[in-house]
Amino acid sequence: MSSPFLPPCETRATGPSRRQFLAGTAGIGLVAGLPVGSVSATTMMLEEAIRGVVGEAALHQGRVTLDVPPLVENGNAVPLTVTVDSPMSEADHVKAIHVFNEKNPQPYVIGVVLGPRAGKASISTRMKLADAQRVVGIAEMSDGSFWSGEAHVIVTIAACVEDLN
Amino acid sequence: MATLINVPAKVKRGEVIEIKTLISHPMESGYRVGTNGKVIPRDIIRRFVCTYNGEEIFHAELSPAIAANPFIAFFTVATETGSIEFKWTGDNGFAASERASITVE
């Protein structure tokens, strides 16, 4: 005889039990989570991408300022301004600015080529960020030296990896 | 392709001016999954070039990490009266160009 104190799943003959259901959904979550995890760039990829630009040269800290909001709600369009402290003269100017990120599927954001004609070494754009992460700016000077600056951004709604359904 | 360019119309010689550009483009990253479960193929603008009276003054290499409707702003020195040309090229044979005129006093 069935007692009213028995858990309901003991008496139910049809349909999956709560335990089976939870185990099943956990499996779905794990499978669905895999491709998302595998497309994230890692700190190692960031370092490699930076090495690809800088090569064997020394990377100095400073002179590059990244202006990014510290907390953004929507990672689909994050305003970014990179400013490099340089007189922008024929003898001393910024040749190129590169921006990298840490956790998007690819470490590259933008690379621009400037010259003494720019007058001011500053660029602005809007980028996508897949997660709360570090954004690094590298400036290549006319004397061949490299300078870097970075900013941390906290993103509440990520870009890039969201589904459309 | 709709573009929006902001170049000051009249400036003094030698003045540092800011040029702002915006172009409508989806900038599909190639990492998103559509409703059919398939990855949406990448479709981005890869390159942006700006020339001032035929001389290249700025160029940018874009990646999938640039937001949809790419906005790019940069500075240049106003040297002479003339035209400033903008060119965007990208995946699937995408090409767009725009021209702005500038008067230098």
pLDDT score of A4 more than 60: no
B41 and A CB contact within 8 Å: no
**Rounded-to-integer distance, Cα B58 and Cα B48, Å:** 8
How far does A97 lie from chain B, in Å, by closest CA?
9
B-chain residues near A123 (CB < 8 A) = 60, 72-74
B-chain residues near A109 (CB < 8 A) = 63, 65-66
Give the nearest chain A residue to B64 (CA atoms).
A109
Q: So what's the pLDDT on residue A20?
A: 61
A-chain residues near B72 (CB < 8 A) = 123-125
Question: In this predicted model, what pLDDT tens digit does every residue of A113-127 receive, in sequence order?
Answer: 998 999 999 999 999
Query: Residue B55 corresponds to which amino acid?
Result: E
Q: How far is CA A157 from CA A8, A39, A76, A106, in A?
A: 39, 17, 8, 18
Q: Which CATH superfamily is domain B3-104 in?
A: Immunoglobulins (2.60.40.10)
Q: Report the complex ipTM.
A: 0.90
B-chain residues near A163 (CB < 8 A) = 32-33
**Rounded-to-integer distance, Cα B32 and Cα A107, Å:** 17
Question: Mean pLDDT in runs of 10 for chain B (105 residues)?
Answer: 90 94 93 88 95 94 94 95 95 94 93
The pair of structure tokens assigned to A64 is 């590059």
Q: So what's the pLDDT on residue A159?
A: 72
Is B75 close to A118, i.e. CB distance below 8 A? yes
Would you list the domain boundaries of chain A?
8-38, 43-157
3-state secondary structure at position B26? coil
Give the nearest chain B residue to A95 (CA atoms).
B58
Is A128 close to B76, i.e. CB distance below 8 A? no
Is B59 close to A112, i.e. CB distance below 8 A? yes
For residue A61, what are the contacts with CB-CB under 8 A and spacing of at least 6?
Answer: A147, A148, A149
DSSP string, A85-135: -----SSS-EEEEEEEESSSSSSEEEEEE--GGGSS-EEEEEE--SSSEEE
pTM score: 0.79
**Rounded-to-integer distance, Cα B12 and Cα A70, Å:** 37
Higher-confidence residue: A90 or A161? Answer: A90
Mean pLDDT (whole number) for A93-114? 93
Is A125 close to B68, i.e. CB distance below 8 A? no
Question: In this predicted model, what pLDDT tens digit does every residue of A23-72 receive, in sequence order?
Answer: 555 554 444 444 444 455 578 888 889 999 998 889 999 999 999 999 99
Q: Which of A80, A106, A102, A108 is nearest to A160 (CA)?
A: A106
CATH code given to domain A43-157: 2.60.40.2470
